[in-house]
Amino acid sequence: MTESIKVGVLGATGAVGQRFVEALADHPWFEITSLAASSRSAGKKYRDAANWRLESQMPEAAADTEVVPVDVNSVDADLVFSALPADLAKTVEADFAKAGCVVASNAGAFRKEPDVPLMIPEVNPEHLGLIDVQRDNRGWDGCIVTNPNCTTIMFTVTLKPLLQFGLETVTIASMQAISGAGYNGIPSMSIIENVVPYIGGEEEKVENEPKKLLGEFDGSQVNPLDIDISASCHRVPVMDGHLEAIWAGMKDDPSPEQVSRAFDNFDPGLSDLPTEPEKVIIVRDEPDRPQPRLDRNAGKGMSVSVGRIRSGIRYIVMGHNTIRGAAGASVLNAELMHKKGYI
């Protein structure tokens, strides 16, 4: 893996697009060769097109890059990361896959497609086998691989080690950061000193995506896991970091100590991927942890933290929604694809 792979970012000026640029700026395998955005930004230097909102400084190499239109004739890349809106992604991502590009998508356009891998590398690496099915079905030289919704990612990572106890039901109540709604988010008068108990389409994603993620790939399709999931999703006045309360019903009725050990011992064996954190699940022993402000940047934003593991089993999980839950998830997917020879 000595030769860098040329990569592009689609939707590079938005909230998740900027996280992609940040994650890829010094990547050991990937080199940014194209930054693509809407016609309002195309033709401008990235420093002038992107209203940089991250804690880090805009990478100098990206700052001087000219933004190009979001189309296959303008983007020079073998691998593209998509931060496009779902309606636009449906057409554009397919165009790139037809043209031979590998698409690592954070968009929701193809997540439900039966021949498109919905991936969390620590949870279902074997699902990459769907790429071969997808290419055969669609006649594409490239492919599309997606990561799940940001809320789904956090708690599904913690469900994987619970499967050994006969996981049967999951109830989740999410407290989601406003950055999950993009830069404009929702009006400040609606969120300050307030909680909004509805996020359009979120509960459907949270209740269905884990079934595909935890399902069994039989060589031609994914058979979803037979599990009941019930969700209630809420927007809270936090900038970054989704906090989620989980109730997990399991056939073997494990103790909190057994669950804590399962979380602490969880090792997916992906330490050779650059974006994989040293510890995927971090168990917080303090009674008031995890907290977004204290724990969202654990593992450079790629670790999820759990705490308050109680009889029931009930616990809290928290992770950085625009890193682990978005851009970092897509980069990790691409790293796994490269390792497995798909790029």
**Does the active-site annotation cover 338?**
no
Name the DSSP letter for residue 174: E
* 265-268: Cβ within 8 A, 24+ apart: 265/161, 266/122, 266/160, 266/161, 268/121, 268/122, 268/123, 268/125, 268/160
What is 150-320's CATH topology?
Dihydrodipicolinate Reductase; domain 2 (3.30.360)
If we measure between CA atoms, which residue out of 100, 18, 90 comes closest to residue 54? 18
Which residue is catalytic, options 101, 127, 143, 150?
A: 150
**Maximum alpha-carbon separation in the chain:** 59
Q: What digits encode the pLDDT tens for the residues 211-239?
A: 999 999 999 999 999 999 999 999 999 99
Determine which one of 101, 143, 233, 242 is catalytic: 242
Phi-psi region of 341 (alpha: psi -120 to 50; beta: other; left: phi over 0): left
Class at the top of the CATH hierarchy for domain 5-149+326-339? alpha beta
> pLDDT tens digits, residue range 294-315?
999 999 999 999 999 999 999 9
Domain ranges, ordered by start, for the chain: 5-149+326-339, 150-320
Extended beta strands in the chain, E state: 5-10, 30-37, 68-69, 79-82, 102-105, 143-146, 167-176, 216-217, 222-223, 228-235, 242-250, 281-283, 304-310, 314-319
Per-residue pLDDT for the chain (343 aa), expressed as one digit of tens each?
457 999 999 999 999 999 999 999 999 999 999 999 999 999 999 999 999 988 899 999 899 999 999 999 999 999 999 999 999 999 999 999 999 999 999 999 999 999 999 999 999 999 999 999 999 999 999 999 999 999 999 999 999 999 999 999 999 999 999 999 877 778 889 999 999 999 999 999 999 999 999 999 999 999 999 999 999 999 999 999 999 999 999 999 999 999 999 999 999 999 999 999 999 999 999 999 999 999 999 999 999 999 999 999 999 999 999 999 999 999 999 999 999 999 9
Torsion of CA 303, 227, 232, 177, to 10 degrees: 20
Q: Among this protein's residues, is 234 annotated catalytic?
A: no
For residue 207, the cross-strand partners are none
| This prediction's pTM | 0.96
